[in-house]
Structure 1
């Protein structure tokens, strides 16, 4: 009777261990795949942008309107007319473009207008393949997604090794 009890407990513990390890392993695979899926486009996008200094020439602030009525999802558009120099161009080539950002809250839009006033210079980023495409924010870094990729696939490798060891030990006992 006691041996049956310990046999049942042993089987239950073994089953729970395998189940927990499998859930952990599948989670690690998902983290690795998500990291890989986000790393590739972010990495390509990151290298397409070059840092420059934009001079704000003018700005415009308005409600996002569709026809004559404001949409149910009220938004506010801020547009800055900017001028910047293409990096490493001989002779210096000036580009005139517009940075447009949409905000849900009018106070956030007005705050951004205060952050980038007319006749000031600020760091901006333009796309090297489309020089008229310019933005204030630095493109997303690929490093967090690289960390997800490495951690996820490393844990997947550890999972495979641990499962392999457990299966080998279990077979030797039988």
Structure 2
């Protein structure tokens, strides 16, 4: 009777361990693939931009409603007319473009407008294949998604090694 109880508990512990490890391993694989799926497009987007220095020529502030009564869904746009240099292998060229940003609160729009003054220079980022597409903020880095990818697939690898060891040990004890 005692051996049956011991066998029951050992089988239960075995299946519980395998089940918990499988859930963790499956979650790790999912996290790894999500990281991979986000890493590739984020990296391509990041690499499609180049840094330059924008000179602000003019700016404009307006509500998005254009005469419609302001409501909870109103927004405010700030537009900066900028000039920047694009460096390529042949020569440098000047590009004129507009940076437009939309804000939900007028205070945020006015603060950003005060941050970027006319006749001053600021770092900006233009898209290499569409030179008139320019923005103030650096495109997001792909590093967090690379970490997610590495951690997810590392835990998945550990899962497969541990499950392999458990199965080998289990087979050896059955063959004795």
Where on the TM-score scale, by shorter chain, does this alignment land: which range? over 0.9
Task: Work out whether 1:76 is the aligned partner of 2:100.
Answer: no
- When structure 1 is superposed on structure 2, of 1-10 and 68-77 the one drifting more is 68-77
Task: Give the structure 2 partner of residue 127 of structure 1.
Answer: 127
TM-score under structure 1 normalisation?
0.92
Task: Tell me, yes or no, if the aligned pair for 1:64 and 1:70 is still in contact at 8 Å.
Answer: no
Task: Tell me, yes or no, if the aligned pair for 1:61 and 1:78 is still in contact at 8 Å.
Answer: yes
Which consecutive residues of structure 2, in runs of 5 or more, have no partner in the other structure? none
Task: Give the structure 2 partner of residue 33 of structure 1.
Answer: 33
Which consecutive residues of structure 1, in runs of 5 or more, have no partner in the other structure? none
- When structure 1 is superposed on structure 2, of 57-66 and 133-142 the one drifting more is 57-66
Instruction: Give the Cα–Cα distance (whole angstroms) in 2 for the partners of residues 75 and 48 of structure 1.
Output: 29
| Per-residue CA distance 1:91-117 (angstroms, 9 max, x = gap) | 431111011111122221111111111
Task: Work out whether 1:10 is the aligned partner of 2:10.
Answer: yes
- When structure 1 is superposed on structure 2, of 2-11 and 63-72 the one drifting more is 63-72
Q: How does 1:24-173 map to 2 (within 5 A)?
A: 24-65=24-65, 68-70=68-70, 72-88=72-88, 90-173=90-173
Instruction: Give the Cα–Cα distance (whole angstroms) in 1 for the partners of residues 27 and 66 of structure 2.
Output: 44
Task: Give the C-alpha shift of residue 48 in structure 1.
Answer: 0.8
Task: Give the C-alpha shift of residue 124 in structure 1.
Answer: 0.2
Instruction: Give the Cα–Cα distance (whole angstroms) in 2 for the partners of residues 93 and 101 of structure 1.
Output: 25
State the number of aligned residues.
174
